[in-house]
Amino acid sequence: MLPLWACSFTKYPMTSTLVASEFVSELVADQPSSVDMMIGIGLVKDTDAVYFQYLGDEQSPTALMLPSGKPCTRLPHVTLTGIEIAEDIGEFNSTKLNLIVTSSAGRTVLLTSGLQTIWSQCMITALMGVFGEYGLNAPMTIDTWKGTSKMRPCFAAIRQGQQKMSDTEVYNQLREARSDRDKALVERIMRDSVEILQGALGIESASVEDVTDINTNSVEENEF
């Protein structure tokens, strides 16, 4: 298993790859400004790469690759230190799930994806499982991979040791909401779960406006 720093983003000088301060502030309103890297999930569909490093407004995000040339798909030994929902982000006023994780080397990384994407739903389902096991303060491994449907959504899993973490109740609630095409219910489940996780981490939740115009990816139930 390769450590987090084995992904090829380490070849870039940290000072040259930080996201513009205004952009970071917009996405991480209540988080410290010491985020070392911001990573978007599945930004390019026609590739197996899943993690993309934001390099600022003037450059396109760059896929994180292993020294072997394969996509980096695993973030091992990271600890969850923050979680929030960011509203009205970017040109399309998107609603994002932001996760702050810290590597074993002490680097702080922001992972961001649309609130209702399958990746975000996978992460919330897994984190609620971690919460149920009283393990939010313990290191975890985050795996991300592409699905095989036309839309190629990203899926995710969290493991602590050899155990794959999941909350059965949240999983079933989200699955039923997706089956009913009830976007409002999916959003409510996600927001309620984030609030629970924020409370467990000692983060004060901020009031947010309702969002009704949200797109979702197709779902491959056998992989989620």
What are the pLDDT digits (tens) for 93-145? 899 999 999 999 999 999 999 999 999 999 999 999 999 999 999 999 999 99
Is the pLDDT at 16 greater than 80? The verdict is no
Is the pLDDT at 4 greater than 90? The verdict is no
Average pLDDT over every residue of 35-56: 94
Is the pLDDT at 213 greater than 60? The verdict is no
Instruction: Give the chain's mean pLDDT.
Output: 82
Q: What residue spans of the chain are helical by DSSP H?
A: 14-17, 21-27, 118-132, 168-179, 183-201
Q: How far apart are CA 194 and CA 85, in angstroms?
A: 8
Task: Give the confidence band of 2 by pLDDT, cuts at 50, 70, 90.
Answer: very low
* 118 DSSP assignment: H
Is the pLDDT at 156 greater than 50? The verdict is yes
Average pLDDT over every residue of 70-93: 93
Residues in the chain: 224
What does pTM read for this prediction? 0.78
Helices 168-179 and 183-201: angle between axes, nearest 10 degrees: 160
Q: Provide the pLDDT for residue 90.
A: 83
Name every residue whose Cβ is closer than 8 Å to that of residue 101 and which is 6 or more positions away in sequence. 75, 78, 79, 80, 81, 108, 109, 111, 142
